[in-house]
Amino acid sequence: MITQQDLARSTGWSAEASFSVARLDLAGNDPGSDILSFLDDAKFLAGASRNPALRVLLVNPELLDEARERIPPRTKLIAVDDPRWHFYTLHNTLALEGPLENEPSIIDPNARIHPQAFIDDVGVIIAGGVVVEPHATVLRSARIGEGAVLRAGSVVGTPGFEHKRTSRGVLSVVHDGETRIGAGTEIGSLATVARGFARRHTVVGADCRIDSNAMIAHSAQLGERVFVAAGAVIAGSADVGDDVWIGPGATVIDRARIGAGARVALGSVVFTKVAPGSTVMGNPARPAKITPRRTAV
Say what the pTM is.
0.89
Instruction: Domains for the chain: give ranges and CATH numbers.
Output: 2-96 (3.40.1390.10), 106-287 (2.160.10.10)
What pLDDT was estimated at residue 283?
Answer: 93
What is the edge-to-edge ordering of all strands in the sheet holding 142-144? 106-107, 125-126, 142-144, 179-181, 202-204, 221-222, 239-240, 257-258
Question: Which parts of 62-189 are beta strand (E)?
Answer: 76-79, 106-107, 112-113, 118-119, 125-126, 131-132, 137-138, 142-144, 149-150, 155-158, 163-166, 169-172, 179-181, 186-187
- Over the stretch 225-259, which tens digit does the pLDDT of each residue have? 999 999 999 999 999 999 999 999 999 999 999 99
* Mean per-residue pLDDT, 262-273: 96
What pLDDT was estimated at residue 294?
Answer: 57
The pLDDT-based confidence of 31 (bands split at 50, 70, 90) is: confident
* Mean per-residue pLDDT, 274-282: 96
Q: What is the dihedral of CA 48, 52, 53, 59, to 10 degrees?
A: 30
Question: Which parts of 120-167 are beta strand (E)?
Answer: 125-126, 131-132, 137-138, 142-144, 149-150, 155-158, 163-166
Please tell me the distance from the alpha carbon of residue 6 to that of residue 173, in angstroms, as a whole number: 17
- Over the stretch 76-125, which tens digit does the pLDDT of each residue have? 999 999 999 999 999 999 999 887 778 899 999 999 999 999 999 999 99
Please tell me the distance from the alpha carbon of residue 19 to that of residue 1, in angstroms, as a whole number: 10
* Residue 246, strand partner residues: 228, 264
